[in-house]
């Protein structure tokens, strides 16, 4: 399980981003694995709160999707479907009543990542 690798140590407070970049790179090379989520405050000696943990998890999910695109046909196909749907429309239109996006329908990344 990659716990990084931490690709740079010059951006204190952005450990979750640095970890995600390093983990995605490692997964692309090894074609799989588990990405560990870290928070922005962990290397500074802080204790993460709920929102920092959620932010760290979202960063790890983005890294996993980016890495999966290089070797997983299912991830690549989903990405192509979303890009095609978005290409046919000009902007996202969120519908609170439908709990979704008029542009992307059920493939909406906002729904998949619990942003709406």
Q: Map out the domains of the chain as residue ranges.
A: 1-71, 73-116
Residue 49 is predicted with a pLDDT of 94
* CA atoms of 2 and 37, how far apart (whole Å): 10
* CA atoms of 30 and 92, how far apart (whole Å): 35
Show Cβ contacts of residue 2 under 8 Å, excluding neighbours closer than 6 positions: 22, 23, 26, 27, 33, 34, 35, 36
| pTM score | 0.67
* CA atoms of 15 and 91, how far apart (whole Å): 32
Residue 94 is predicted with a pLDDT of 55
Residue 8 is predicted with a pLDDT of 80
């Amino acid at each position: 399980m990659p716990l990084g690798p931490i690709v740079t140590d010059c951006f204190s407070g952005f450990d979750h981003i640095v970890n995600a970049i390093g983990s995605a790179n490692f997964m692309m090379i090894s074609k799989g694995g588990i990405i560990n989520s870290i928070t922005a405050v962990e290397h500074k000696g802080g204790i993460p709160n709920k929102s920092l943990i959620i932010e760290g998890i979202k960063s790890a999910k983005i890294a996993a999707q980016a890495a999966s695109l290089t070797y997983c046909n299912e991830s690549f196909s989903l990405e192509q479907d979303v890009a095609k749907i978005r290409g046919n429309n000009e902007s996202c239109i969120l519908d609170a009543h439908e709990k979704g996006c008029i542009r992307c329908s059920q493939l909406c990344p906002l729904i998949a990542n619990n942003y709406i």
